[in-house]
Structure 1
């Protein structure tokens, strides 16, 4: 099987290559908007820059949400040695980005490549290279320009508040594994685009009114806190299923979350998703993620009166160099479509 030719994988590859740390998501949102229009739908943008679309159907409206924004960083200050001090966007371990290639995006549209490293990057030079604590103050960006001073950086148009995106290093193997940064949650976005494509090709029909909502601030906690269509009764986040430890989720299944840091998800919805998975021969797991939050949580904190749920493909090494598998994507798509399929 040529996994690279699968629509969901092609969309995922495209998406992870689009820089979109929280606050810098306009390119990714525009990609989603154009793809939905190509499929024959009429997407709209919220004032906050999210994208949503109605796929059709009647009654008991449900929205599926995925987020285009990713982890990243921002220039905190220009250093006297010509390096850049950074401040993180989203929650990740500093050691997970050490040595990573990156791009600095200036406010006037210029882009400069660089590398994130510690302030003591060489064991041949620094006695504390191995023991230095990996925290933001000890990290810096070495840009690929002939710069040695703060003035040199200013001449390039770089200043505090410029966004920094990470090289995703996307790899699709012959056996269906997908290795990349930002599978959280570009995988969820690609999955929802695939659902829209299948519907446009009449591979299934809807048993209710359905919206797709693509948020742009999930990694900083307020993605779906506004802009959800007012008639939505049920909101399901399509985000990564965490893998590791005593959890049962793996990269080949769709994970159904029963509880995360925001508390339990709606028990009725969890039960309905599990029953759908069982009846449809979907490979699934049910897990609890105590160090996890979702757009569905954000919508409740914002005061939406909705039933909320969370599902998504298993993703290993979340918020690092992540990995999933085509089977996990496929099982997630299958569960969503079976949940929405009209029985005639």
Structure 2
């Protein structure tokens, strides 16, 4: 079945709604409820793990050799490290991101007594006081502090407000959706991926799509701290495609247009056969694509493999400029990813051996050239 038509208005509306819900790692209950209700509205059966990762099942023609599509709902953020004598708060990051991009951010702090607005500032923030010293101040989380927009002149007044060590701080996304298709916001990693998955599902439901195997739609809650899909997979899942951001930056081949297929990240190459199939689908369905390798990057796929899951993994991405900072994407990439997902989930199963957890040599895959000098003519294994 060819790729389906994606409703880009639905896609961008979902992205706007997702961005409006704060969800730093460790504070994801609200966005889990939102995504779960939307999945149920689209007709899927939804279940949650103990901590809130989402499994939604699209029933296919058979259960064995099931496929999974995964993205994460959690984002970068911060946490209160200390209450300072001057009434400000020391912070530590949630996830890996630079304090360079934290400076000037408007935030929401969640305490047991309620929420507070605030701003992350460098320790020397007043130009009229520090003059050029502001420009030479070092960069790092030890050199910023959170100013809470409440009466908090010292540590005791912070305590009176109910603010404590460990409180979660969500960074405002401040999104802009431009008429030319560009989208600028924090946290496009990976609310863009979640919106892409929902848009693909909306198209499948609208077209009453039939898939050859069950499709598991997975949404993890701790990818930014390395947990990701470590504990969400079931044994019947044979292959998993992660949807996340690529890195449009000097030295990279990612693009803000089309699909960027990741060939490897810092944990090593992705599955040869699954990646080749995704590239072939892009070619057959006339979906713009490019390939890239990420050196300082890990995804839900990496966490699944490291946890010991015997599953084929791949990573398809939308190119993000200034990832983990002031991020920018284009709706063309989001739409292209959703199109590729619809083409993949409806495509025939080519490696029938994958329905078994363990099997013999018969039906095992073959990579070109690796066995060229061996006489395996009687073996009709698939190449992809």
Q: TM-score, normalised by structure 2?
A: 0.86
- Residue 150 of structure 1 corresponds to 155
Contact 1:75 1:163 in 2 (8 A): yes
SS of corresponding position for 1:129: helix
CA gap 1:334/1:203 in 2 versus in 1, 3 angstroms = farther
- Residue 35 of structure 1 corresponds to 38
SS of corresponding position for 1:43: strand
SS of corresponding position for 1:73: strand
Q: Distance in 1 between matches of 2:274 and 2:115?
A: 45
- Residue 271 of structure 1 corresponds to 276
CA gap 1:291/1:342 in 2 versus in 1, 3 angstroms = closer
Contact 2:67 2:345 in 1 (8 A): no
- Residue 323 of structure 2 corresponds to 318
Matched, 1:114 2:150: no
CA offset digits 1:273-294 (Å, max 9, x no partner): 1101000000111100001000
Q: Distance in 1 between matches of 2:313 and 2:71?
A: 14
CA offset digits 1:16-43 (Å, max 9, x no partner): 1111111111111111001111112111
CA offset digits 1:224-283 (Å, max 9, x no partner): 110212211111110011111122221111111001101110111111111010000001
SS of corresponding position for 1:242: strand
1:127-142 alignment runs, 5 A limit = 128-142=133-147
Shift of 1:4: 11
Shift of 1:198: 1.4
1:255-270 alignment runs, 5 A limit = 255-270=260-275
Q: Distance in 2 between matches of 1:4 and 1:254?
A: 17
Matched, 1:7 2:7: no
Matched, 1:104 2:109: yes
CA gap 1:300/1:21 in 2 versus in 1, 3 angstroms = same
Q: TM-score, normalised by structure 1?
A: 0.96
Q: Distance in 2 between matches of 1:297 and 1:5?
A: 30
Contact 1:4 1:10 in 2 (8 A): no
Q: Structure 1: 5+ residue runs without aligned partners? A: none
Q: Distance in 1 between matches of 2:208 and 2:193?
A: 20
Matched, 1:174 2:191: no
Larger radius of gyration: 2
SS of corresponding position for 1:130: helix
Matched, 1:296 2:301: yes
Q: Distance in 1 between matches of 2:307 and 2:217?
A: 19
Matched, 1:198 2:203: yes
SS of corresponding position for 1:6: helix
Which is worse superposed, 288-297 or 207-216?
207-216
Q: Distance in 2 between matches of 1:17 and 1:4?
A: 20
Which is worse superposed, 196-205 or 310-319?
196-205
CA gap 1:34/1:206 in 2 versus in 1, 3 angstroms = same
Contact 1:205 1:342 in 2 (8 A): no
Q: Structure 2: 5+ residue runs without aligned partners? A: 1-5, 349-384
Shift of 1:207: 2.7
- Residue 252 of structure 2 corresponds to 247
Q: Distance in 2 between matches of 1:49 and 1:25?
A: 8
Matched, 1:221 2:222: no
- Residue 127 of structure 2 corresponds to 123
CA gap 1:342/1:299 in 2 versus in 1, 3 angstroms = closer
Q: How many residues align?
A: 340
Matched, 1:238 2:243: yes
Contact 1:177 1:325 in 2 (8 A): yes
Q: Distance in 1 between matches of 2:24 and 2:296?
A: 21
Which is worse superposed, 116-125 or 201-210?
201-210
